[in-house]
Amino acid sequence: MNPFVYSRANDAAGAVTAIAAKPHTKFLGGGTNLIDLMKMGVETPAQLVDITRLPLAQVEELPGGKGVRIGALARNSDVAEHAIIRQRYPLLSQALLAGASPQLRNMATVGGNLMQRTRCYYFYDPAFPQCNKRNPGSGCGALKGYNRIHAILGQSDQCIATNPSDMNVALTALEAIVRVQGPKGEREIPIADFHRLPGSTPNVDTNLKEDELITAVDLPANSFATRSHYLKVRDRASYAFAIVSVAAAIEIDAGKKITAVRIALGGVAHKPWRAQKAEQQLVGKTADEKTFRAAAEAELAAAKGYAHNSFKIELAKRSIVRALTTVAGMTS
Amino acid sequence: MNEEASEPRHPDELAGMDPTGGLDEILIFGSPETRRYFLKQVAGTSAAIGLGPALMGIGSVEAAESTATPGVASAVVTKFQLKINGKEHILEVDPRTTLLDALREHLLLTGSKKGCDHGQCGACTVLVNGRRINSCLSLAIVHQGDEITTIEGLAKGDELHPVQAAFLEHDGFQCGYCTPGQICSAVACIAEDHTKNDAEIREWMSGNLCRCGAYPNIVAAVKEAQSKTPAKSA
C-alpha cells in the first residue's frame, strides 16, 4: 500500500474542503473496496479523508410522502434490515442482502457501494499491463483475454468491464436520486446519469466530480412494493458477484394488463442497465410468458458477446422472463 | 557477506548447532515453550534486542490520551488508542496498518487469522461494537473509540463461550485455521437472529470459508449454541 495522509472529517463541509485542498484525495467509508484496491496497488491516493463519523447514516421519510432518504454512510446491512425499506422497497433490501457477506455488508456504505469499481481481472491486478480503466491508453486486456464476467451491452472497444454492484441495479429500477455536495453546494444526480458507459474514457466510472461527496440517496415513492423481485444468477449460491441479475417491479390491473413496469439488469454492462426497450414493449400488454420473452428479446437484440461470455445473452433473456414471471405471480 | 559464513559446512558440524543462534538461551527461561510463545517473547523484548520499530509500540494504558489525529501522514508512525476485549491499548503504527495487522503484529493477539487478506475468506472476522467485520479491510486508525472483540475476548476465564464449546462438541473444524473467524461470525449470526434453520445459517455464515469443508459440523455447532443462547426479548 502506498503512503498516504490520513485525516478525519467531522462534517460534510469539512470533508469537501479536505478533498478539494489536496490532489489525489479519496474519501474513506467502509473501505471494503478502496482498501482492497490500495493493497493491490490499483488505487494510490495521496490522502484519505475518513468520513465514517459524519452524521449521514439515517434512513428517514421525506416530507409529504415523497419517499425515503438514505444517508450515504448508512451501512448496507442496516439499510437492508430497516423496517421502512423492507416494507416499501423490498427490492432494495433483497438486492443488498444478495451482495457480499454479512461482514462486508456491516462495513460497506451506500455511498461506497455506488462508487464500487469493477471486478474485471485485468483492472484489479496491475500485473496485467493492459487496462484502459486503470491506465488510459494501455489497451483492454479483457477484449481478447478471459472475459466470462464481462459486458454484453453498452461496451466499447476500449473497455468491456461491468459494474459489480447489486444495490445499484435495484436503485436503477427504483429511479433513485443521488444527492451530492461539492464546493459550490448541493446537486442531485438521477441514478441513470450517475454511472457512465465506458466510451473512450473508461477510466471515469461516474459523473460524480472529484471534489464532490455523496450525502444521500433518495428513493421516490412508488407502488411497486408488493410486486418486485431481485433475481441474482451467480456461480455459487451465496457470496459471489452476479453473472446476470435482474431487478423487476410490475403493476398489473384486474384484466392482467401491465400498467407499469421497471426492469434493470446487473452484470451485463459498465453501468446498471435500465431495460427501457423491454419496459416499452410490456406496458399495456397481458402479463404472460410470451410477452415477457418478446420483451427480453427486444432488450438483448443489440447485445454482443465475446469468447467466454456469449452465454450471458441467453441467460439475461431467461433471467428477465423468470423475474417478470415471479413478480406477475405475486399476490398484491 | 563474510567468507566464513558462506563456506559449506559438513553435516556433522551442523548436527550440534543451535538453530536459533542462541536466542532461546537469552529469551526463553524454562521449557517447553511453544513457537508462538517464543515469538511473542521475542517481540515483547524487541526494544532490548533491536528487532526494529515494526514490532515496537506495544503497550496498555489506564488513562486515555488524545486520540484525534487529523492529518497524519503514513510512513510516519502515529499514536492512538484501541479498546480490545475491554482493555485500552496504545498503538504506535503507520496509518496504513489494518485492524488485523494491528491485532496480530502489534498487539500479539494472533487468534484472528490472515487468510486471503482481501475480504474474501472471513478468517479475520472480529466484532466491532457487536457487529462482525473483516478486520483485514479496515484500517486500525478508524477504530478509535470502538469496542473491539476478538476470539481471545469471548471466553470468561476458563469458561468457554457457548459457541466455542459447541464448535468443540460438534467438531466444527479440521485444520482450525478458519475457526476463530467462524466462531466470531457465529456469535454475531446468533445475536442477529439469523439461525432459524440450516439454510439460513448457511446463508448468513457464507462469509466464512472453510477449505477443510467442515460446514455440516459448523452448522450443527451454530444450531446448538443458538439453542443454548437465551432468546432476545422483543
Test A106 with B132 for CB contact under 8 angstroms: yes
Nearest CB to B207: which of A3, A28, A101?
Answer: A101
Which residues 120-149 on chain A approach chain B with CB closer than 8 angstroms?
A: none
The amino acid at A132: N
Which residues 94-123 on chain A approach chain B with CB closer than 8 angstroms?
A: 100-104, 106-107
The set of cell numbers assigned to A209 is: 466530480
Instruction: Please report the pLDDT score of residue B63 as a whole number.
Output: 28
Asked if A238 is an interface residue toward chain B (Cβ–Cβ < 8 A), one would say yes
Nearest CB to B134: which of A52, A104, A237?
Answer: A104
Instruction: Please report the pLDDT score of residue B40 as a whole number.
Output: 58
Separation CA A242–CA B220 (nearest Å): 29
Separation CA B122–CA B98 (nearest Å): 15
In this structure, the number of other CB atoms found within 10 A of the CB of residue A256 comes to: 11
In this structure, the number of other CB atoms found within 10 A of the CB of residue B83 comes to: 16
Q: How far is CA A268 from CA A15, A96, A117, A299, A312, in A?
A: 34, 18, 14, 12, 8
Closest chain B CA to residue A4: B74
> What pLDDT digit, counting tens, does each position of B15-27 carry?
444 444 433 333 3
Confidence label for B229 from pLDDT (cuts 50, 70 and 90): confident
Output the tens digit of pLDDT for each of chain A's 332 residues: 999 999 999 999 999 999 999 999 999 999 999 999 999 999 999 999 999 999 999 999 999 999 999 999 999 999 999 999 999 999 999 999 999 999 999 999 999 999 999 999 999 999 999 999 999 999 999 999 999 999 999 999 999 999 999 999 999 999 999 999 999 999 999 999 999 999 999 999 999 999 999 999 999 999 999 999 999 999 999 999 999 999 999 999 999 999 999 999 999 999 999 999 999 999 999 999 999 999 999 999 999 999 999 999 999 999 999 999 999 999 76
The CATH number fitting domain A5-53, selected from 3.30.2020.30, 3.30.43.10, 3.40.228.10, 3.40.630.30: 3.30.43.10
CATH class of A228-328: alpha beta
Chain B residues with beta carbon closer than 8 angstroms to that of A239:
206-207
Test A104 with B75 for CB contact under 8 angstroms: no
Nearest CB to B142: which of A4, A52, A100?
Answer: A52
Chain A residues with beta carbon closer than 8 angstroms to that of B206:
101-102, 237-239
| Strands ordered across the beta sheet of B131-134 | B58-60, B87-93, B78-84, B147-149, B125-128, B131-134
Instruction: Please report the pLDDT score of residue A331 as a whole number.
Output: 78
Closest chain B CA to residue A77: B131
Closest chain A CA to residue B94: A3
Test A238 with B133 for CB contact under 8 angstroms: no
Chain A residues with beta carbon closer than 8 angstroms to that of B78:
6
By C-alpha distance, which of A80, A68, A57, A73 is closest to A108? A73
Instruction: Please name each of the domains of chain B with its CATH number.
Output: 11-65 (no CATH), 97-228 (1.10.150.120)
* A281 contacts: CB under 8 Å, gap ≥ 6: A291, A294, A295, A298
Q: Which of A37, A101, A107 to mutate to test the interface with B (most CBs of B within 10 A)?
A: A101
Domain coordinates in residue numbering, chain A: 5-53, 228-328
Q: Of A147 and B230, which is predicted with more confidence?
A: A147
- Please give the full DSSP string across chain B, using - where no structure is assigned: --HHHHSPPPHHHHHT--TTTTHHHHH--SS---HHHHHHHHHHTHHHHT--GGG--EEE-SS------TTEETTS-EEEEEEETTEEEEEEE-TT-BHHHIIIIIS--TTS--SSSSSSS-TTEEEETTEEEEGGGSBGGGGTT-EEE-GGGTSBTTB--HHHHHHHHTT--SS-SSHHHHHHHHHHHHHTT--SSHHHHHHHTTTS--TT--HHHHHHHHHHHHHTSPPPP-
Test A35 with B139 for CB contact under 8 angstroms: yes
Query: Taking 80 as the threshold, does the pLDDT of residue B2 lie above it?
Result: no
Dihedral angle computed from the Cα positions of residues A59, A64, A66 and A68, in that order, rounded to the nearest 10 degrees: 0
Q: What is the ipTM of this complex?
A: 0.97
